[in-house]
Structure 1
Amino acid sequence: MSKIEISDPEDPRLAPYVSIRERDLTGRSDGRFIVEGKVTLAILLERSRFEIESVFIGRSRVEPLAEMLAQVPEGVPVYVAPQDVMDQVAGFPIHRGVLACAHKGQPVGVEKLLEAETLLVLNGISNHDNVGAAFRNAAAFGAGGVLLDEQSCDPLYRKSIRVSAGAALWLPYLQSGQCDDHVSWLENAGFDVWAMTPRTTAEELHRLEPATKTAILLGPEGPGLSDALIDRCRPVRIAMAGGFDSINVATAGAIALAHCHASSGSAKA
């Protein structure tokens, strides 16, 4: 482990960690992203497809996490600082005392993503918690990947990664283009595209048998998917109690994914 003690919050080596919240909100243009917390650092080290650049950790966390830090690749610096220095650099209290910086690298090619049997497709999902939860659900129910349009928020936003329980670090995904393009790609690749909607005329999820290749399309909370998109796909609804027609978008995705997973015969008892 290349441990480097830091005492000055102005140390230029910590530049990627400066004012994290502001950079998250404005978007990073340098191809980097930040991981926060013990669980997500472990996944970044053990399972992620992304290249780690550095680790920034509170001094009090070094000994408890010694075994994990031993997995940091040779040559990757581990910056260690007192908690107050870490907080000054980040711009807010880093209660977990664990940060890491990694590179996004090259995106997954659409051809590779379309080899999956089940995909989750996110259209206009701009809430970071919902995107993170959607990735966690996709991983939990065996989806082969996630396809997002440019209006959806970045899965590698720090909070999205944390809410995804680290799934955003290893589950294949592509964020590109518009949802109309995605539907065309999916149709050409032989997917049955389920547009999740509260329409009463839509087919009920529990009555459907998933196709060999199935894509589950989710729209933003509130407006939902556009009528044009729904009409291009197979409208599917989740049966609910009378007088209530909607649930959280990530929850709807979880229910649909669980149905596909159970129907595939691959679910374990």
Structure 2
Amino acid sequence: MPVVVVIDPDDPRLAPYRDIRERDLVGRDREFIAEGKVVVERMLAGSRHKARSLLIAEHRVPALGDMIAAAGDLPVYAAAQPVLDRIAGFALHRGILAHGAAAAPIDADALLASLPDRVLLVVLVGISNHDNIGGIFRNAAAFGAAAVLLAPDCCDPLYRKAVRVSVGATLTVPFATVEGDLLDLLTQHRFEALALSPHRATRLADLVRAPRIALLLGAEGPGLPDALLARARAVAIPIVPGFDSLNVATSSGIALAHFFEPDTY
């Protein structure tokens, strides 16, 4: 489909892109905005979550022929930078956006049942910071985690900032929200639950990988709930005495790297 140049920031075809930050705050009802070249390319290359249209800064169109071709029959709009900034409501330096529709939610029990006998899983509890969600998903993708489970108190992995920080990993790594008891579900599917915690814990370096591992991560500050820690095996990343803790996304990268098996890829 040819690129359509838009000169009116109030063009109704661009309604999903209008006032992006305000729309993000109130929620998009199973829709989202992806931002940046790498993120949009990953979305077009085979994400479960489907693009509906693209909006590109006009001066970037000549260099994005492959992306535009990959969009196929999707509408692709272009606008001069000042028009683009008025549509978005802020200076959009990356100049590449996609309007997406979220896939149907995945059932957590069915997701775990579909995983192989040897697998690495990430489980998040209380992660409400979009930068941390994005960073954890990026690490999960980089180190071969098969999926991410989220407690209901986690923020949305498809929030624009989370998608951007993850470099598109939230669009490609399967995830599901668990409404019931996380530990019961993991036990039913034969996962060893490893709870990352700086206290009362086995050192990460001393662990040998079990076939099915679920790495549990909690919010910065409070960490994982005591009731959950009491039922899982606590695992620590040692740091110098007197310092509180690592950032949770950083911790996830260290732990996932420990369990990563590069020879299987």
Letter in 1 for 2:185: W
- Tell me how far 1:52 sits from its aligned partner: 1.1
CA distance in 2, matches of 1:35, 1:135: 15
Structure 1: distance between partners of 2:150 and 2:257: 20
For the residues of structure 2 that align with 1:245 and 1:238, how far apart are their CA atoms?
A: 12
Q: Tell me which residue corresponds to 1:90.
A: 88
One-letter identity of the residue aligned with 2:75: P
Per the TM alignment, residue 21 of structure 1 is displaced from its structure 2 partner at its CA by 0.4
141, 144, 149: which one aligns with 1:142: 144
- Between stretches 157-166 and 237-246, larger displacement belongs to 237-246
Deviation string 1:168-194 (CA, Å, 9 cap, x unpaired) is 11111113426xx22221111110001
| Aligned counterparts of 2:8 and 2:165: Cα–Cα separation in 1 | 31
Q: 1:208 aligns to what?
A: 207
Partner SS for 2:3: strand
* Contact 1:40/1:166, CA 8 A, preserved across alignment: yes
**What residue in structure 2 maps to residue 122 of structure 1?**
124
After TM superposition, give the deviation of residue 112 of structure 1 in Å: 4.2
Contact 2:121 2:146 in 1 (8 A): yes
Equivalence map 1:54-203=2 (5 Å):
54-74=53-73, 76-114=74-112, 115=115, 117-177=119-179, 181-199=181-199, 201-203=200-202
* Number of residue pairs the alignment of both structures matches: 261
Matched with 2:232 is 233
After TM superposition, the runs of 4+ consecutive aligned structure 1 residues lying more than 6 A away are none
SS at match of 2:263: coil
Amino acid at match of 1:78: V
Post-superposition offset of 1:238: 1.1
The alignment partner of 1:139 has SS state of helix
- Gaps of at least 5 residues in structure 1 are none
Percentage of matched positions with identical amino acids: 49
The Cα RMSD (Å) is 1.6
Shift of 1:111: 3.4
Matched, 1:37 2:29: no
Measure, in 2, the Cα distance between the counterparts of 1:222 and 1:12: 44
Q: CA 1:265/1:136 → structure 2, altered by over 3 Å: closer, same or farther?
A: closer
Residue 219 of structure 2: aligned partner: 220
Contact 2:109 2:185 (C-alpha < 8 Å) held by counterparts: no
Q: Does 2:54 correspond to 1:52?
A: no
**Secondary structure in structure 1 of the residue aligned to 2:224:** coil
For the residues of structure 2 that align with 1:103 and 1:265, how far apart are their CA atoms?
A: 33
Rounded Cα–Cα distance in structure 1 between residues aligned with 2:129 and 2:230 = 25
Distance in 1 (CA, whole Å) between partners of 2:193 and 2:149 is 12
Name stretches of at least 5 consecutive residues in structure 2 with no aligned partner.
none
> Residue 258 of structure 1: CA displacement?
1.1
Contact 1:113 1:144 in 2 (8 A): no
Tell me the SS of whatever aligns to 2:76.
Answer: strand
Distance in 1 (CA, whole Å) between partners of 2:197 and 2:263 is 26
**CA deviations over 1:200-236 (Å, ceiling 9, x no partner):** x211111111211000000000111111110011111
**How far off is 1:265 after superposition?**
6.7
DSSP-derived class of the 1:152 partner: coil
How far has the Cα of 1:64 moved from its partner?
Answer: 1.1
Mapped to 1, the partners of 2:9 and 2:259 lie a distance apart of 50
CA contact 1:36–1:100 (8 Å) conserved in 2:
yes
Secondary structure, aligned partner of 2:86:
helix
Residues in 2 aligned to 1:265 and 1:68: alpha-carbon distance in whole angstroms: 30
2:258 is aligned to 259
CA distance in 1, matches of 2:243, 2:75: 53
The two structures have a TM-score, normalised by structure 2, of 0.94
Q: 1:23 — aligned with what?
A: 23
